[in-house]
Chain A
Amino acid sequence: AQSVAQPEDQVNVAEGNPLTVKCTYSVSGNPYLFWYVQYPNRGLQFLLKYITGDNLVKGSYGFEAEFNKSQTSFHLKKPSALVSDSALYFCAVRDPNQGGKLIFGQGTELSVKP
């Protein structure tokens, strides 16, 4: 069965510092991996995806993620955090044999302080 884990409920970072939000996955076959962000009282916004190809994926708002097959990880990163990056971040995996079904991690609350 597919599963996703985000080991940190909360990540605190100072503005201007690099940030990392961790995600590990368990899938059978090739993983289709995604990161979404949710701001208060809003839906989910797509950040980036890994389907195939380069292990370093670049996405929206300066975010990037590194796919590591041996460690089954897909950590989200940004070189310099902004206060406006404060939000709830979700990692997700999709089983290509199950259509559009996404399995989400439990979410990580990112707090960026000035």
Chain B
Amino acid sequence: KAGVTQTPRYLIKTRGQQVTLSCSPISGHRSVSWYQQTPGQGLQFLFEYFSETQRNKGNFPGRFSGRQFSNSRSEMNVSTLELGDSALYLCASNGGDSYNEQFFGPGTRLTVL
């Protein structure tokens, strides 16, 4: 069974640009969650999508958005990048309706210059 795939693995952008990150969950999983990991703030929940609908949202500005496609693949977008957006962005694939074991991808390392 293939794991969670995140692309790209590394990105370098400049302030003001926008970026799109992709996550393909484990086959059969319908829910995807996104997290931001930084040394200062730790791991913070961004949002969760279930069957193409945003189910939950964290405390991030509107520059952070996401979507989910019918095949459960998810994308997150960050517009007008700021230096503070430099982080490891992790995607979690949630199995079934219980969420009692979430499988994380390797992450996308975003550097904003």
**Residues of A bordering B, CB below 8 Å:** 32, 36, 41-46, 49, 51, 90, 94, 98-107
| A100 lies within 8 A of B101 (CB) | no
| A43 lies within 8 A of B107 (CB) | yes
Q: For A46, what are the chain B residues with a Cβ–Cβ distance below 8 Å?
A: 101-104
Given known contacts A43-B105, A43-B107, A45-B104, is B43 in contact with A101 (CB within 8 Å)?
Answer: no
Contact of B104 among A43, A99, A105, A107 (CB under 8 A): A43
**Residues of B bordering A, CB below 8 Å:** 4, 6, 31, 33, 35, 42-45, 48, 50, 55-56, 58, 90, 92, 94, 99-107, 109
| A104 lies within 8 A of B42 (CB) | yes
Q: For B45, what are the chain A residues with a Cβ–Cβ distance below 8 Å?
A: 101-103
Alpha-carbon separation in the docked complex, A49 to B103 (Å): 13
What are 26 A-B pairs with beta-carbon distances under 8 A?
Answer: A36-B104, A41-B106, A41-B109, A42-B107, A43-B4, A43-B6, A43-B107, A45-B104, A46-B101, A46-B104, A49-B100, A51-B100, A94-B99, A99-B50, A99-B55, A99-B56, A100-B48, A100-B50, A100-B99, A100-B102, A101-B45, A102-B33, A102-B43, A102-B102, A104-B44, A107-B42
Alpha-carbon separation in the docked complex, A94 to B92 (Å): 14
| B33 lies within 8 A of A44 (CB) | no
Alpha-carbon separation in the docked complex, A13 to B49 (Å): 40
Alpha-carbon separation in the docked complex, A72 to B107 (Å): 31
Alpha-carbon separation in the docked complex, A32 to B43 (Å): 17
Q: For B107, what are the chain A residues with a Cβ–Cβ distance below 8 Å?
A: 42-43
Alpha-carbon separation in the docked complex, A100 to B56 (Å): 8
| A101 lies within 8 A of B48 (CB) | yes
Alpha-carbon separation in the docked complex, A100 to B95 (Å): 10
Q: For A107, what are the chain B residues with a Cβ–Cβ distance below 8 Å?
A: 42-43
Alpha-carbon separation in the docked complex, A51 to B98 (Å): 10
